[in-house]
């Protein structure tokens, strides 16, 4: 028992097995006025639980923040890429009219990303209204639009009523032009399992990360471009790069967008 000398009234503190009892006495009748018990073990456990809960909340917040930063970082990089190279921006209005969609979102840009499989193919089940825009090492720009995607690599989509291909910049200097299929089974999209090959549109193009890209010909696909698409220009597959398979070209930039 320890006397509390600094208190006006008499008081005692009892220590017993990690438990403290503080008693204060009245100055007149010496009766116990107040008794407070502190159990160190229970209090420490409560404090530890609170610390653990705060740590978990902090970790959850940190993970959420890191995820947001990563998503925003990719979007900011895409925006800066377009600012540095505004080649695509000037065509967005035209592409919007062709797709009948108003909002586009870049999900892959080869100027920033190098993992096409991770950024595009692995997300196919959650994507739709996908557009590829290809810029060749010769300065030509063309692409394709797809409303149905293969569920996995190495599997053709046979038909897609919303599919079309287009030319934005070509060797003949024509205005941007859209080509729609004239047959049902036009085999509009195939994803390759691994690089360097990326994807193929059967009667249109084969795209890879090396200099082995080409515009498909009848020799390669069994059908010429104007047997599959409504060739309103009359140049066949030559409209895109002035050559078809077996001639090849290199990929300068590939941008993949979604539309809604």
Q: Is residue 46 part of a domain?
A: no
Q: Is residue 71 part of a domain?
A: no
3-state secondary structure of 51: helix
Q: Based on the domain organization, do 133 and 18 belong to the same domain?
A: no
Q: Is residue 50 part of a domain?
A: no
Q: Based on the domain organization, do 34 and 115 belong to the same domain?
A: no
Radius of gyration of the CA atoms of the chain, in A: 35
- How many domains does the chain divide into? 2
Q: Based on the domain organization, do 161 and 255 belong to the same domain?
A: yes
Residue 8: per-residue pLDDT = 45
Q: Is residue 107 part of a domain?
A: yes
Q: Sign (positive/negative) of CA torsion 83, 86, 88, 94?
A: positive
Mean pLDDT for each consecutive 10-residue tract of the chain (260 residues)? 44 57 52 50 77 83 72 57 62 94 91 84 84 96 96 90 97 97 94 91 94 92 93 97 96 94
3-state secondary structure of 71: helix
Q: Is residue 238 part of a domain?
A: yes
Domain extent for 164: 87-259
Q: Is residue 165 part of a domain?
A: yes
- pTM (2 decimals)? 0.68
What is the spatial distance between Cα 47 and Cα 127, in angstroms, rounded to a whole number? 47
Q: Is residue 18 part of a domain?
A: yes
Residue 49: per-residue pLDDT = 82
Cis peptide, bond prior to residue 246, ω within 30 of zero: yes
């Amino acid at each position: 028992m320890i006397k509390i000398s600094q208190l006006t009234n008499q008081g005692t503190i009892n220590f017993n097995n990690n438990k403290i009892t503080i008693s204060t006495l009245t100055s007149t009748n010496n009766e116990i006025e107040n008794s407070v018990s502190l159990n160190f073990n229970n209090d420490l456990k409560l404090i530890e639980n609170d610390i653990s809960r705060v740590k978990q909340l902090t970790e959850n917040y940190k993970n959420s923040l890191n995820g947001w930063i990563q998503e925003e970082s990719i979007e900011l990089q895409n925006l800066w890429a377009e600012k540095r190279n505004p080649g695509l921006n000037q065509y967005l209005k035209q592409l919007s009219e062709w797709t009948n969609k108003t909002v586009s979102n870049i999900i892959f840009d080869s100027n920033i990303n190098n993992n096409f499989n991770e950024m595009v193919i692995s997300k196919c089940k959650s994507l739709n209204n996908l557009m590829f825009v290809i810029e060749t090492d010769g300065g030509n720009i063309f692409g394709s639009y797809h409303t149905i995607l293969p569920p996995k690599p190495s599997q053709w989509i046979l038909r897609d009523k919303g599919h079309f291909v287009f030319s934005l910049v070509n060797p003949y200097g024509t205005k941007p032009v859209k080509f729609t299929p004239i047959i049902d089974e036009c085999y509009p999209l195939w994803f390759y399992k691994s690089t360097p090959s990326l994807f193929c549109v059967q009667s249109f193009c084969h795209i890879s990360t090396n200099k082995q890209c080409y515009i498909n010909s009848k020799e390669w696909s069994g059908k010429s471009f104007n047997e599959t698409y409504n060739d309103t220009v009359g140049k066949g597959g030559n409209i895109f790069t002035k050559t078809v398979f077996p001639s090849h070209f290199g990929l300068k930039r590939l941008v993949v967008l979604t539309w809604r």
